[in-house]
Amino acid sequence: MTFNHESTTDEVLDGLDLSGRRFVITGAASGLGEESTRALAAHGASIVMLARDPAKNDEAAARVRAAVPDADLSLDTVDLADLASIRSFAGRYLDGGQSIDVLINNAGVMACPFGHTADGFEMQFGTNHLGHFELTRLLEPAVVAGDRPRIVNLTSSAHGISDVDLEDPNFEHTDYDAWISYGRSKSANALHALALSRRLAGDGVLAYSVHPGVIMTNLGRHLNDDLMQQMMDRSKERAAKTGQPEGFQFKSAEQGAATQVWAATSADVVEHSGTYCADCGLGVEGGNVGGNGFEPYITDASRADELWALSERLLDS
């Protein structure tokens, strides 16, 4: 069945029985993570809800259980801006002996003021990419042990703002720009999925990057009038250069989370591991980046390998 930008989580999951399948979702305490949890649980999936704030995670789980009384949920705490937190959770999870059928790297921070993670990395690159890179790296044995395993990384149309910067990932030598930083981190998320699709293919693991669309969630908590204007100005500049439509088409949470649950469950993407997905379909290279299009640099396998090597150096140093 063909879906589009208006499709919802319930529509793309219609008719699927996910009983016995185990999903681990970061950023599950609100927004797209919570909606993905609700929709997948409604179809029988077991969900491990990960969030930085235990109290907010409890509240989200209560909302999910109100909507899905028999939801199979377990909760744990992970701060993706703190390697110690990531490593602590991964150790607990692996010690429990549970496999993972689908890992959805959903959490993130957007356009925040300049700052650093607990380990000294620039906040957006450190949280959005390095945090998920380390979590995925540590959970790899559980994913490989899963049934028809998949990994889904949330990226964004904002990858079109900037490719990754392998020379100065932490803005140590260049002036910080909140949107450029976000764009770099989202390109990194896509390149990470591409690298995973190649490195884990022999283990039967599929990997995808997903642009959810533009949704009003807690992700936008740092946005002010100046940052919003910068976003609109970038959209105008892109439209003038490419002839692509200007502006943004907003989605509901149910529409925004649809592409990630589609990538996590659909048979239509099995032959397309490593692909950028948007609007519940495969992305289009060179298409409208504000919609389902993507820039070619996120499909550069050598770039993905270079980012992988840099990430390992940073995390292991």
Catalytic residue positions, numbered = 176
Helices and strands in the chain: count of H runs, count of E runs: 11, 12
| Cα(21)–Cα(223) distance, integer angstroms | 36
What's the order of all strands across the beta sheet hosting 281-282? 72-77, 46-51, 22-25, 102-105, 150-154, 206-211, 276-278, 281-282
Cβ within 8 Å of residue 316, ≥6 positions away: none
**Is 253:31 a contact under the CB 8 Å cutoff?**
yes
What are 141's two structure tokens?
């044995």
**Is 28:60 a contact under the CB 8 Å cutoff?**
yes
What are 134's two structure tokens?
């380390």
Helices 301-316 and 132-144, axial angle in degrees (round to 10): 100
Strand pairing report for 276-278 and 281-282: antiparallel
Other Cβ atoms within 10 Å of 297 Cβ, number = 16
**Is 200:142 a contact under the CB 8 Å cutoff?**
no
| Cα(244)–Cα(161) distance, integer angstroms | 15
CA dist 229 → 179, 217, 224 (Å): 11, 18, 9
Question: DSSP letters of 22-79?
Answer: EEEETTTTSHHHHHHHHHHHHTT-EEEEEES-HHHHHHHHHHHHHHSTT-EEEEEE--
